[in-house]
Amino acid sequence: MSYLVLARKWRPKRFAELVGQQHVVRALSHALETGRVHHAFLFTGTRGVGKTTIARIFAKSLNCESGTSKDPCGVCGTCTDIDNGRYPDLIEIDAASHTGVDNIRDLIDNAQYMPSRGRTKVYLIDEVHMLSKPAFNAMLKTLEEPPEHVKFLLATTDPEKLPVTVLSRCLQFNLRRLEPEQISGQMEHILVAEGIGFDTESLTLLADAADGSLRDGLSLLDQAIAYTGGSLQAELVQSMLGTVDRSQIEQLLGALAARDGEALMATIEQLASFAPDFEQVLDRLAQALHEIQLTQLVPNYRPSLQRVLVKAFAKQLDAQLVQLWYQMAVIGRRDLHFAPGARVGFEMALLRMLAFVPVGADAPDSVMRAPPPVLKSPAPRPVAAPRRETATPTPESPPPATMAAATLPDSPEEWLQLLARLTLKGPLGQIGAHSAFVARNGSQLVLSYPADLHDSLSPALCERFQSALADVLGSPVQIKFEKLADAGAQTLHGRQTESKLNRQNEAEAEFQNHPVVNALLAEGAQIIPDSIRPLELK
């Protein structure tokens, strides 16, 4: 006996058996009950959501031998013939393979004849947007004023390609993509009826992979039954789909929250062993971040992700940081095709999340105050101080090594010397580079900062800068910022700029005074402006 695939075996035969699309069923049912049935209907929506299924049920409702109703009997000759695809008064046309005007002219000519068996002759034109422009023009008059015994049911996945003259002659119904819960619920119903074992997680994986299409979901279910040997298990289904487990998304988030580059790369290496679709991994990460943000900002929100510790991450991560990571996940997915390889693009998207922190975000110390992560490399590194134990799930990154005999500066020169010995980067490095020494009052340092940059000094950034100095000095310190009043005040940024300018002037003078250069200039050569650079600036 030949095997009938689940998508065909379990195709709905009545409106009551449809999954979702209740807004369409309601409108069609009322039309059938009141007798106000339009002559042309257009069903739009993505693949596998029920467009042609609804059209066939509608054709049965119009021609059922028990009478026109929203609930055809399903057992009469008309209903069974329509279900089996051999009813002469239901003419199904695939517009993808019958695009020409001659095909439509044949349809128009045959439409004039009365039905051979039923009350209504139904033309079901699938993928109607594939018809040529002349074919549409030939059909317009009949579509607007068809014989009383003819109904047109049009289906398409791309309604934007239809001429407005066709759209205006049809009642249009947009079929929605199905929710994963609807798809997994139908799968569970089918598996119970078929006597096939399963676990809930495997159905969740298949429903997510179906991407809103029940037909695709049932095709994947057929594949999963064959792959797992007749009993669905999440691990095997995950292997079949090449997807990642939610616990692995949790590991990625945990490494990001801890700002632990080594743990992040180890998790990516583990993921790569499954040969996953990295676009899908970024999708799952973005979905988890979406759940975390909802938990943070929407009172009484109940997360739908069970295995990802949404509530724990919602408490640990700053809301601004979640927004930043979500944006990076979405952009990383978009740019994945431009990367040298999918894994490289995926790694860079995750490393970008480690490298950037929203300015002024008020987040836990383990997320916001830790220095940038350092990945393993064969090059020698300075030895960092031991990790400090904290009371959280997440270890704090090591603080900068305390400098020997470091004391609070008492002069502008000592302040610049101290900054030169620090390894501050990012926003903290910018604060140090543009700060000028004003005075020292005990354990308090008074620093000036440029007036045009002063508004960027958020309390959170100032606190982090103060904490970084305290870690380096090994003693408490308080920082007070004032707007820079003395334009000649020496800053590290100013000193570095002056040093670069001096090196540039020396390089230009040395180059122009070189004998070979002078000889070339004497022969008519010219020096291209701004083309001379000191070797150390290349």
**Does the structure show a pLDDT above 90 at 329?**
yes
Place of tokens 């069923």: 25
State the pLDDT at residue 184: 92
> DSSP letters of 424-469?
--HHHHHHHHH-EEEEEETTEEEEEE-TTTGGG--HHHHHHHHHHH
Q: What is the pTM of this model?
A: 0.56
How many alpha carbons lie under 13 Å from residue 334 in its C-beta half-sphere?
Answer: 6
Residue 404 to residues 299, 376, 445, 472, 473, Cα–Cα distance (Å): 50, 26, 20, 9, 8
Average pLDDT, the chain: 81
User: Which amino acid is located at 413 in the chain?
Assistant: E
pLDDT score at 512: 80
Q: Which residues contact 249 (CB under 8 A, 6 or more apart)?
A: 281, 284, 285, 288, 308
Structure letter (DSSP) for residue 197: B
Q: Are 151 and 37 in contact (CB under 8 A)?
A: yes
CA atoms lying within 13 Å on the CB side of residue 130? 15
- Integer Cα distance of 123 and 156 in angstroms: 14
Q: What is the mean pLDDT of residues 11-32?
A: 90
| pLDDT-derived band at 536, boundaries 50, 70, 90 | low
Q: What is the pLDDT of residues 242-297, one digit of tens each?
A: 766 677 888 899 999 888 889 999 999 988 887 788 888 898 899 899 989 988 88
As its CATH architecture, domain 180-241 has Orthogonal Bundle (1.10)
Contact 171, 41 (CB under 8 A): yes
Task: Give the pLDDT confidence score for residue 154 in this predicted structure.
Answer: 92
Domain 246-364 is found in CATH 1.10.760.10: no
Angstrom CA distances, 246 to 154, 252, 288, 311, stand at 41, 10, 9, 15
Assigned CATH topology for domain 6-174: Rossmann fold (3.40.50)
Query: pLDDT tens digits for 81-94?
Result: 998 888 999 998 88
Per-residue buried b or exposed e for 146-185, using 16+ beta carbons within 10 Å of the residue's own CB: beebbbbbbbbbebeebeeebeebbeebebbbbebebbbe
3-class secondary-structure state, position 472: helix
Cα separation, 354 vs 268, in Å, equals 14
Q: What share of the chain is helix, strand, coil (3-state, %, to 5)?
A: 50, 10, 40
Over residues 125-144, the pLDDT tens digits come to 998 998 888 888 888 888 88
DSSP 8-state symbol, 92: E
Burial label, 72 (beta-carbon count in 10 A; 0-12, 13-18, 19+): buried
Classified as helix, coil or strand, 171 is strand
The yes-or-no verdict on residue 190 having pLDDT over 90 is: yes
What does the block give as tokens for 436? 């000028």
| Domain-wise residue ranges, the chain | 6-174, 180-241, 246-364, 412-485, 494-537
Q: What pLDDT, on a 0 to 100 scale, did the predictor assign at position 57?
A: 92
Report the pLDDT value the prediction gives residue 35, as an integer from 0 to 100. Answer: 87
Whether the CB-CB separation of 190 and 221 falls below 8 Å is answered with: yes
Choice among 102-111, 374-383, 456-465 with the minimum mean pLDDT: 374-383
Residue 175's nearest CA partner among 365, 48, 263 is 48
pLDDT band at residue 498 using 50, 70 and 90 as cut-offs: confident
Digit-coded pLDDT (tens) for 56-76: 899 999 999 988 888 898 899
Percent of the chain past pLDDT 70, that is, above it, reads: 86
Q: What is the dihedral of CA 55, 56, 57, 62, to 10 degrees?
A: 90
Q: Is residue 477 scored above 70 in pLDDT? A: yes
Q: How far apart are CA 153 and CA 155, in angstroms?
A: 7
CATH topology of domain 412-485: GMP Synthetase; Chain A, domain 3 (3.30.300)
For residue 206, the surrounding DSSP H or E stretch is: helix 200-210
